[in-house]
Amino acid sequence: MEIKSNGIKGSWLKNMIIKRLYFDNAMSCAGLSQLFDKSIPSITKAINELIKEGFVVEEGYAPSSGGRRPLMYAINAKAMYILAVAMDQLTARLQLIDLQNNPVAAMVTVDIKLHNNDEALPTLIKSLNDYVTASGIPKSKIAGIGIGMPGFINAVEGINYTYMDAGGQSLSDHISQHTGITTYIDNDSSLIALAEQKFGIAKFQQEVMVINLGWGIGLGMIIDGKIFRGSNGFAGELSHIPLSDDGALCTCGKRGCLEAEASMLVVAEKAEEGIKEGRVTSLKTMDGNFKLMGDSLMDAANQGDQFALELLSDAGYKIGKALAILIHIMNPANIVLSGRGAKVGKILLAPIQQALHKYCIPRLASGTELLISALGFDAELIGAAVLVMENFDKEVKVRG
C-alpha cells in the first residue's frame, strides 16, 4: 500500500523547498537555485506555485549588501502540521505543532508502560487517533507523525526490536495504517541529538555528543555534522556502559550498568527509600510513582533541598565516569546535557567535572566543553517533528 502524505506533497523540487525553508527560515530564489543546482526560472516557478498553494509566503527583502536586495521567501507556518510524539518507558507526550515548531493544540500526556505490556501499541494508536480528532485539524493537513521512543530501533525499516511488537510488521507502517497518517519512528536519544543539531545548541557544530538524561541515560552522536547510528543503527547505548562488576541489576540483565546506577528512575527510587528511612527533606513519598518523584526531586534540588542535591550529585559523578570513557573514545568538541534532566543540568555539572578530573586524561578533557541544552524536555518533541520533515522529500511506501 502507498500513502502519499494525505495529498500534501507536490513535486520533488517543491518538497525540497518546503523542507529547506522549515530548517533555514528564509531564503532567496538565488540561494535556493545554488543549493539545489536548479535554474532560477525553475526555482521561481516552484516558489510561485507554493505561494499559490499556501505553503510559502514572501518574507521581505534581505538586508542591503551594496546591490539589489533579493526578495526572501519563508514557510507558511500554518500550511500544515506535524504530530510530534515523545515517549519514554512510562509515558507518551503528544503535541500537534506548526512548521515553526509552535504548539497548535494542548499537549496530552498518556500513561503507557512499555516494558512487558501488550496493550502499549493499541493504547498509543487509540491515543493518536483520539488526539487528532479532538484537535479539530483534518488529517489532510498533517504532514506526518514523528515518534521518538526508547529501544533498539531501525529507523529506516521503522522497527523497534525492544518494545511494541507489531506482529512482525514494521511498527511505523502499522501505525500509519491504523491512523491514516504517514508515521516515522526513531530512537529517542537520536531524535534529541537531531533537535539539538537543527534548532538547538549543537547547530552548526560537527562533533557533538548529546546526552539524553531521562528515565534511562541515552546518547545521540553527531559526527562530521551527521547523526551517527552505527552499522545496524544501534549506536549510542551509553546506558549500558558497565561502571562496576557488582552493582545494581539492570533491565538488560547485567549488573553495574550506568542506567542501573544513575538514571533519573534510579534516583527517584533512592529518594523514595530515603524518605522511608527518615531522611530530612522537603520531598514527600509518591507511593512508588517514580515519574512524579523524579519531577519533584528535580524541583526540590533547584530549590536547595540537600537530600535531593546529594542524590543528583551521586548520579552526576557516575555519569561523569561514563563520559570519561566516551571522551577517551570519541574526543568530542562538545557534550550537551539534554532531555528531561537538563532541568538540573547546572547541578550535575560540578560532579560530572569532578569525575572527569579523576578518570579522564587532562589533555582530552580540556578539549571537551560541557553544555546544557536550552531545549531541554522539549528536545524529543522537536526532534520528532524534525524526523517528519527530514523525510518530507521522500516517497512513502507502506508495506501492508
Residue 17: domain span:
12-75
Q: 24 or 184: whose pLDDT is higher?
A: 184
Give yes or no: residues 68 and 209 share one domain: no
Q: Which residues of the chain form beta strands (DSSP E)?
A: 26-28, 56-61, 71-75, 81-87, 91-97, 108-111, 142-149, 153-154, 159-160, 183-187, 208-213, 217-223, 226-228, 334-338, 369-372
Q: Is residue 397 part of a domain?
A: no
The pLDDT of residue 297 is above 60 = yes
pTM score, whole prediction: 0.90
Taking residues 219-248, report their average pLDDT: 85
Give yes or no: residues 127 and 56 share one domain: no
The pLDDT of residue 5 is above 60 = no
Residues 212/219, Cβ–Cβ less than 8 Å? yes
> How many angstroms from the chain centroid is the CA of residue 17?
24
- The percent helix, strand, coil of the chain (3-state, each to 5) is 45, 20, 35
Tally the domains of the chain. 3
Give yes or no: residues 45 and 122 share one domain: no
- Position 118 scores a pLDDT of 93
CATH at residue 51 = 1.10.10.10
pLDDT tier at 7, thresholds 50, 70, 90: low
Taking residues 127-132, report their average pLDDT: 98
pLDDT tier at 2, thresholds 50, 70, 90: very low
Strand order in the sheet with 56-61: 26-28, 71-75, 56-61
CATH at residue 114 = 3.30.420.40
- Position 380 scores a pLDDT of 96
Q: 10 or 155: whose pLDDT is higher?
A: 155
Q: What is the pLDDT of residues 336-361, one digit of tens each?
A: 999 999 999 999 999 999 999 999 99
- Position 249 scores a pLDDT of 75
- Position 386 scores a pLDDT of 97
Question: 27-33: long-range contacts (C-beta < 8 A, 24 or more apart)?
Answer: 27/72, 27/73, 28/62, 28/70, 28/71, 28/72, 28/73, 29/70, 29/71, 29/73, 30/70, 31/70, 32/73
Residue corresponding to grid cell 519514554: 88
What's the rounded Cα separation, in Å, for the pair 307 and 317? 16
At 344, the amino acid letter reads V
Taking residues 210-215, report their average pLDDT: 92
pLDDT tier at 4, thresholds 50, 70, 90: very low
- Position 396 scores a pLDDT of 54
Q: Is residue 198 part of a domain?
A: no
Question: Which among 277, 121, 293 has a CA at the least distance from the CA of 285?
Answer: 293
The pLDDT of residue 68 is above 90 = no
Give yes or no: residues 67 and 103 share one domain: no
pLDDT tier at 395, thresholds 50, 70, 90: low
Which of 33, 49, 75 is the endpoint of a domain? 75
Give yes or no: residues 267 and 296 share one domain: yes
Residues 8/139, Cβ–Cβ less than 8 Å? no
What's the rounded Cα separation, in Å, for the pair 121 and 267? 28
- Position 343 scores a pLDDT of 94
Question: Which among 19, 10, 89 has a CA at the least distance from the CA of 53?
Answer: 10
pLDDT tier at 234, thresholds 50, 70, 90: confident
